[in-house]
Structure 1
Amino acid sequence: MPDLSLSLITVNQTPLDLRGNLERIKNAVRLAGDKRQVICFPELSLTGYGCEDAFYMPYLVDGALKALLTLAKDTARLDALIAVGLPFRQNGLLYNCMALLHRGRVVALIPKQHLAGEGLHYEPRWFRAFQSAKGEFIASEETALDGAYFGPAVIEYGDLRLGVEICEDAWVAGRPAIALAGASVDLILNPAASHFGFGKYDIRKSIVEASSREYHCLYATVNLLGNEAGRSIYDGSRIAASGGTILHESHRFSFQDACISQLTVSLSGMRQRRQRIYSRKEEMPDDGGALPVIKIDRSSSAPGFGRDASFARSEDASHRSSSIPGYTIEIKTIIDDTQPSRQGEAIDTDAVRFNEFLHAETLGLYDYMRKTASRGYTISLSGGADSAACALLVERMIRRGTSELGDHFFVKAGLPASSPREATKGMLHTIYQATAQSSETTESAAAEVAAALGANHHRIDIQDMVDRSKGLVEGVLERSLTWQTDDLALQNIQARARSPLVWMIANTTGSILIATGNRSESSVGYCTMDGDTSGGLAPIAGIDKAFLLRWLKHMEETGDEFGPIPSLSYINAQQPTAELRPLEAKQTDEKDLMPYALLERIERLALQDLMPPSGILSILLAEKDAGQARWTTAAEHFTPDELKQAVSRFFQLWRSSQWKRERFAVSFHIDTYNVDPRSYLRFPVLSAKIEEDAGKNII
């Protein structure tokens, strides 16, 4: 009975770190063992996926090739077929390729045929999509590269036939898998660099499941891991399926440097099914689309890296730490490939998203901290929802990281080892900065949450700074500043007066200042430039306020694997407020703007679905009339004219605040879209009054 041994290895890489990236790949190959197997790493794992315009730099591309040849040399004694991603220059053009290595030689370089150019992706800016009818053999002075095949191909490795389609290749209609299935491949590898976003993992899993059924093969994907380049977070997932059944689904969002899923799968059942399914004979080309078959010579034999790096094999799925700190391995033997792996019970969407949000954010924060050689985070803790959410995420970063890595959590970050509670005291610095407009409610809320989390918390009164600034400007203008005539200026000076002190704390502690704004506020410019937007990282700027409020309530009452945080009740009992106007004004965010749930609905229709104001108004009215207005519990109280005003106000605030979004701190991509003009949504700083379309067609 023919068996396939497959290692899917995710790695947490850093753009341009060729030395470190190569070392992590080599360590992972060692841990995979010296048996005959197929080993697959993610897309562009040698250089990192997020190199941006550094892909234009010749020394990066040349360095990637040198790293590849080094990897080939160092794995020459293994009888493993190793697939690793890199940018490769051929005939003066740059391609996104997977290199296949065997016994010290580059057997083939498989180029990506369909480039991702939507949302966060700008691959067509740097790479050429391979569109030729045939490939070619490479002539090179490098012995290990000379004779390698460049182009789509079927690889024959002993009695195993396999092919590769890279990430986006699997998301299009005319995908490479069609020709590969026509060539009767047993295995299709899908190395990926697929960033996290709500709901995206389920889509990827369904593609794997459907591909294995439609193309009658073992279909396997491996994704990058961690916060690679600053904005995108990768879940490190490894998924394998056969005959429409998920065989393996790994854990996600690991804090490890690398995670290995090792599968041993019987191919007999799959081959028998492929042979007897008559419909396949009509649907698939007999010649596999004339794909060349690259046969790997396995005549030579030699021992591998050494027995000290191998693992005993188990019949059951298991998770274990390796002999190298920061690496884990999962082992699964599947004798009958028709039996699905155990999957967790389905849970409601909010619970799934709460869990994904927490895991993606905490991993993103950890990688951002250690890759910038910082010593923690500083937050201006206002007693409101946003800053509390950020503080909680930092604390959970420490709890999750130390739970998974132990003391290696601190080793990776270059910090002294300590208990999670002590680490939080040294790595999470919070400050409440009071003015005359600050209430006892927010001050006590900040103190209670900081104490519950174990933060290093302080209180400072900055009213003297506000008064002095106000007095100096009054002297320049030769008049008094009042709330009746200078409301905006008097609000903003308070926010800006908080910036210098919290920056100073961040500088003196070697920590990163967190800007606490969310996407809802960013989309309408409800923030003060050089005030609450101050910071080096804005981790929640990619998520809406309505979601954050629900998540904080969930963490108060239900919590995560470390339990709930009852002190969040001090936050959740409040109406969100900037607390910049006099207390008697009873300022709230939703009074200044609109209900956050309605704002999120308009924002999503406008920025994700790209609908005009008139179209959005029509949808809101239809949802209201049908009783389907989930965007607010008070929907029935909104008149058509009030909804029209809300839509118009959103677009007016959106277009007039683009200059602010151009200056925001680096933010994480979490949802299906974001408003960061440097990653997802570009918009002109100057534009027409599109809000005037709220009741009519735009032209």
Structure 2
Amino acid sequence: MTDGFIRVAAAIPRVKVADVAFNTQEIESMMVCAEGQGVEVLCFPELCLTSYSCQDLFFQQLLLEEAENALFKILELSRNLGLVAIVGVPYSYQGMLFNCAAVVQGGKLLGLIPKTFIPNHQEFYEKRWFSSSTMLSGEHIVRFCGQYVPIGRHQLFCLNDVTFGIEICEDLWAPTPPSSHLAIKGAEIIFNLSASNDLIGKYQYVRDLVIGQSARCHCAYVYTSCGYGESTQDIVFGGKSFIAENGRILAEGTRFSFRQELTVAEIDVERLRAERRRNTFFAKSYEMLASNDRCNIVDIESAGFSESSFALTRKINPLPFVPREEDLDFRCQEILSIQSQGLATRIAHTKAQSVVIGVSGGLDSTLALMVCTHAFDCLGLNRKGIVGVTMPGFGTTERTYNNSIRLMNALGITIREINISDAVMLHFRDIGHDPQKHDVVYENAQARERTQILMDISHQVGGFVVGTGDLSELALGWATYNGDHMSMYAVNSSVPKTLVKHLVRWVAVNVADEESRKTILDIVDTPISPELLPADSEGNIKQITEDLVGPYELHDFFLYYVLRYGFRPKKIFRMALRAFDGKGETQTYDEATIAKWLEVFFRRFFAQQFKRSCLPDGPKVGSCSISPRGDWRMPPDAVSEEWIKECRSLLQQTLSSEEPSNTKA
């Protein structure tokens, strides 16, 4: 396991019915292929050594002995490989025949796991040949392939600090799958050796089962079902393979293939552990299990996979907060509805006559204003009850000012314009500050003046102030304490900047009328800025937020994995390199750039917690929130030293790797 990732694979070999020698060659070739791809655990289909569809040939002693001989050969091959292989094999014991998964590594047979739920309905007649694992009560040690090995359904295997369990085909379909028990006992990955024939609609049903079980158990689920070569006497096996993680498919194989199929993916085990730690029902489920229902844990020696040679191939979304294109319409409508209903409920509860909002011509205030209009429309209130206040100051540009006025006019709200320059200059005189000194006092005085104006106007009109700040700004502390940091209800407080941009664009295209659409789209294209410093000589925005604190798409990426999963900097760095590799729609960032802004993120995230400790109310819209009353409870005096130390180590490594070598040829 490297940075919490383990590479696994689901194999679908070609088979010939009862031709054990051919089947063994196929399995061996796929083991060698998987080893070459850095796979650590490789799972084959049910009864792959003999083929699943042998029927009454399973009663033949020759077939059973040839299967054991074949497993001998696989054990010999495994001595020269590092991976763990899970192979389907029949095993005869105490007058019964069991449909087993054999776990193989380094020449050792580590365990036999029999199938528990034996199907005997419709096209399946397995009870004719096989017995259930429930026939084996207690612990059993058997001799197979010249080795003593545990057999039973309650077995877990631990490889490089990763624990996995195994079930077979029909086990997944049962009301109480063995994998649920195994997951509660500690299995983080479940492997399923299957032989599932193809029918109309069955593929999607099985896919949904795999997704659902991985979500329910907060585990990864690796499923592989036999394909080409199985008997087509009455049914067809098209070959199915899925690798799912916590309710999401990471990879799936090609169906109806006439070739070997190897489906490979990296499982993020640390992500699964983070999910389990958050959910109290996992601990409760463990408590409810019978104390005598124990699992045998088999420790597997590390194969010595090199962390430095591990190259992440898993696709990682660089914009984890942004819905996928196919879900964008539904998700954006859902988010806007959550925000609007939250605000509408607060308006109704307080019996407010109006709401007051500062409109700057930027992304955040535009989204918040759209939430206000939607809430008023839902309540059947006149939009004139929305008081939009534009407050030009020292850094306000013509572009943002004009956009704010046009937008408010188009939406039909009440407009107020109050220039803050004179009031701020008077304040500077009162406190003895030189207005030519463009420092933090210069900037924050403007933000606090604007907040004071909004608060006082809200009292004038019998309403309350709607906050516009977003999740990204609050995470970085990019807000003036008791300035734009404060409001009576903050509708954007759990919406990150990358999502704000997509939401505002979606509103422009799908909700706004023709008059406001052009204005909103121009706002989307406007550089992000607090406009607290004077514009340049041509009247353009001079103070660009992302030049100062870093790209929001990077910070939102960091934020997601810190809040959602608690990943350490080293792992986030590795994932960011993969996510921002230039193969998607986002910008490419090199190692040094990512390491630099990662340190900035952690430094600011820790240092600015005091602002988040007293946030106003606001609706949670996604899985991440920093409300001090809900999802994020952090002491403001926490020390960031360990996180910063790791970030600086990453930066030093990247700078060292970029230095030219002094070695002479």
TM-score normalised according to structure 1 size: 0.45
Q: Which has the larger radius of gyration?
A: 2
